[in-house]
Amino acid sequence: MILDPGRAAEIAANLTEVRQRMAAAAERSGRHPADVRLVAVSKTYPLTDIAAAYAAGQREFGENRLEELWPKVAAARAEGLDAICWHMIGVIQSRKTGDAVGPVALIHAVDRVKIAQRLSRDAQAAGCVLDVLLEVNVSGEASKHGFAPAEVLAVAPELLTLPGIRIGGLMTMAPFEAVPEATRPVFRALRQLRDELALRFPGDNWRELSMGMTNDFEIAIEEGATIVRIGSAIFGARNG
Ligand SMILES: *Cc1c(COP(=O)(O)O)cnc(C)c1O
């Protein structure tokens, strides 16, 4: 694989800047920078860009479509990028849950009870347990996926009993805001919902808050994000 040195340098510089901004946001809010993980969202970008980020020390990558995830997992391994932790950050269609069972560190966007049930069933059939987050539609926008906050509280007991999935926390997408500060109430509400779940259903299921993207990750970190999912700030703007 041939890396374009200019492109590789650009990605490395972007990563450095993102990491610095993440650390500054963590420190502003009295948090430890190491408590926030960066998932580099590589969707639509080629393996050479992933390799450039990998060379710059990045190890966690996210894809939002299974059709793009698995070929990249295989290609990365074939190129010797052995230490990647892959994240499936997009929603999964109910007839595709079987395709989601595989070497993926975390499935971020379980957005319905039916998906949770099917993932659990398919994981069990494969003899494994999948680590997942529940996607919450905090803002209530019709265009967004996810459980309503009250719904999560209602279905959590059932989801926690599913043997093929292990719930590790919550994920959300804030609406795009011209002024990033406007996303703060969404992230705060997700953290408060997490705190409520942890109180009602004690255990190790509510550690992670996957929230914050290019436009709003600093606000999300200030509000408690443990994972940010960042694409364009690292790889550049995507077409479409
Ligand atoms: C594409 C995507 C991201 C990253 O978006 P950027 O604005 O490019 O940082 C984060 N989360 C999900 C679920 C995505 O699909």
Which one of 3.20.20.10, 3.10.20.340, 3.40.50.300, 3.30.980.10 gives the CATH number of domain 5-235?
3.20.20.10
Centre of ligand 1 from the C-alpha of residue 135, in Å: 14
Ligand 1 centroid to residue 81 C-alpha, Å: 22
pLDDT of residue 170: 98
In whole angstroms, what is the distance from residue 48 CA to residue 53 CA? 9
Read off the tokens for 215.
């436009």
**Distance of alpha carbon 185 from alpha carbon 81, whole angstroms:** 38
Residue bearing tokens 């999964």: 92
The C-alpha R_g of the chain, in whole angstroms, comes to 17
Burial class (CB in 10 A: 0-12, 13-18, 19+), 183: buried
How much is the pTM?
0.97
Can you tell me which atom of ligand 1 is nearest the CA of 43? 1
Tell me how many degrees the CA angle 157-159-160 measures, rounded to the nearest 5: 65
pLDDT score recorded for residue 239 = 77
Q: Tell me if 134 sits within 8 A of 106, measured CB to CB.
A: no
The Å distance, Cα 125 to ligand 1 centre, comes to 31
pLDDT of amino acid 176: 92
Residues with CB under 6 A from ligand 1: 41, 43, 64, 89-90, 173, 213-215, 229-232
Q: Name residues of the chain where pLDDT drops below 50.
A: none
- Residue 64 sits at φ, ψ, to 5 deg, of -110, 0
| Rounded distance between C-alpha atoms, residue 167 and residue 131, angstroms | 6
Ligand 1 atom 10, closest CA = 229
CB of 49 closer than 8 Å to CB of 11: yes
Q: pLDDT tens across 84-123, in order?
A: 999 999 999 999 999 999 999 999 999 999 999 999 999 9
pLDDT of residue 240: 56
